[in-house]
Amino acid sequence: MILKKSTILGKVKVLFYFLCLCINISYLSADATNFEGTEIEIKILDKVSSKNYKVKISIGEEKVFKNISIKPLKCKNSEFDDNPEIIAYLQVKDLKDTDNDEVFVFNGWTFSSSPSINTFDHPVYDIWLIKCSN
């Protein structure tokens, strides 16, 4: 009878340690693969001159590039397998178009791996998200 009680207690201890290990691994892996950055790097294509520009902007800072104003509000970098996914929430205003009733030309999430999900539609500029860093 005593032997039976100690084996049950041993199984409970092993199960408890296993659950603690699983919780720690999931917590550490979530921190290692997902982080919010403090700065984004975007590539802007001027369709008229066919020139590319790389621009770094801090989160919350509004940057004026020629006729547009870009303000990133959040960026997140996560790595799954070999394909990292970088996402950012951007607000873009067209400063030249004063008679337009809309506040933003683009206001939403953009994805580095597939920018066609939520497209930035502007007659002169294209914007691509490159990097989210600290």
Whether residue 88 sits in one domain with residue 55: yes
Whether residue 7 sits in one domain with residue 67: no
Whether residue 86 sits in one domain with residue 129: yes
Whether residue 120 sits in one domain with residue 57: yes
Q: What angle do CA 92, 112, 56 make, to 5 degrees?
A: 55
Residue 82 CB neighbours (<10 A):
5
How far apart, in whole angstroms, are the C-alpha atoms of residue 84 and residue 9? 44
Whether residue 21 sits in one domain with residue 79: no
pLDDT 10s digit of each residue in the chain, 134 long?
455 555 665 666 655 555 555 565 554 444 445 578 899 999 999 999 999 999 999 999 999 998 899 999 999 887 665 667 889 999 998 888 777 666 788 899 988 887 777 777 888 999 999 988 88
How far apart, in whole angstroms, are the C-alpha atoms of residue 93 and residue 100? 11
Residue 3, classified by CB atoms within 10 Å of its CB into exposed (0-12), middle (13-18) or buried (19+), is exposed
Cα Rg of the chain (Å, integer): 24
Whether residue 85 sits in one domain with residue 48: yes
Whether residue 7 sits in one domain with residue 49: no
pLDDT score for 30: 47
pLDDT score for 70: 93
Pick left, alpha or beta for residue 115 (phi over 0 → left; psi -120 to 50 → alpha; otherwise beta): alpha
Whether residue 110 sits in one domain with residue 60: yes
Whether residue 41 sits in one domain with residue 25: no
Whether residue 68 sits in one domain with residue 8: no
pTM of the model: 0.68
**Domain of residue 5, residue span:** 1-34
- Number of domains into which the chain is organized: 2
pLDDT score for 28: 45
Whether residue 73 sits in one domain with residue 97: yes
